[in-house]
Amino acid sequence: MLVEIPEPEVILGVILAFIVGIVGLYAYFKISPFVRIKSDGFDATQTERLEYYERQLIDMKIRLDALEIQGIEQKVEDPNLELKQFLEKLAKKEVQERPVEVVSKSEITPEKVVSTPNIPNITPANPIDYVLHLITDKSMTSRDIQITLKKSREHTSRLMKKLFEEGYVQRNTESKPYTYSITEKGMAKVGQVEVNPITE
């Protein structure tokens, strides 16, 4: 069998590539310690942080153990104290029997029924008129108005802002929550509604 010998250029190329590889490895191992020193500086800060957190965890663990030991000691003492106090209360209750008080029927006073003023039976189809009727007798907060209207807080806030800007209501900003009372313009509108009721 014949073995073909490659050309000298190919042999020189392979030898040259081998030498370049060895030189590269040599340079890598000579330069890598210097590169590691720089990265070790970065790692040193990380190790410092890790050591700091480790010390913190150890301190916290020691405190937790101390608290648990104190808690166990207190729990050992507490049941005895609670048991003694409970037995003392039972003994006092047995000694002091309270007589049952008999309430006669003549002593019972009927409670006075507090009547709420009747609001005119206006359907809340027109909330502006309804709100103006609500606040004719007394000032109300927006929360009270919201509850009677059964609308959302945002809806009530927009409605009261609109009435305030149009001059139908007056806003008292001295106290929180704000209270609203009716103005002369609002009273005139309420009067118009009562004179010209909407018939369906």
- CA–CA distance, 186 with 113 (Å, rounded to integer): 32
> 83 and 161: one domain?
no
Whether 24 is covered by a domain: the verdict is yes
pLDDT confidence of residue 115: 43
Six-digit token string for 70 = 């104190």
**Could you list the residue range(s) of the whole structural domain that residue 71 is in?**
7-94
Three-class HEC string of 75-99: HHHHHHHHHHHHHHHHHHHHHCCCC
pLDDT confidence of residue 14: 94
Domain boundary among the residues 94, 115, 145 is at: 94
- CA–CA distance, 16 with 13 (Å, rounded to integer): 5
Taking the CA atoms of 176, 132, 152 and 144 in sequence, report the sign of the dihedral they define: positive
Specify the number of domains making up the chain.
2
Whether 83 is covered by a domain: the verdict is yes
pTM for this predicted structure = 0.36
167 CB-near residues (< 8 Å, 6+ apart): 183, 185, 186
What does each C-alpha distance from 61 to 47, 58, 68, 69, 138 come to in angstroms? 21, 5, 10, 12, 63
Q: Which single residue is written with the structure tokens 């663990």?
A: 61
Six-digit token string for 169 = 């209501």
CB of 122 within 8 A of CB of 135?
no
Q: Which amino acid is located at 110 in the chain?
A: P
> 139 and 87: one domain?
no
Domain CATH number, residue 159: 1.10.10.10
Q: Cis check for the bond before 117: say yes or no (omega within 30 of 0).
A: no
Domain boundary among the residues 69, 94, 119 is at: 94
pLDDT in tens, the chain (200 residues): 688 888 989 999 999 999 999 999 999 999 988 876 665 556 678 889 999 999 999 999 999 999 988 877 766 555 567 777 777 877 777 766 555 555 555 555 555 544 444 444 555 567 888 888 888 888 888 888 888 888 888 888 888 889 889 888 888 888 787 888 888 888 888 877 665 655 44
CB of 149 within 8 A of CB of 130?
yes
Q: Which single residue is written with the structure tokens 């010209």?
A: 196
- CA–CA distance, 193 with 128 (Å, rounded to integer): 11
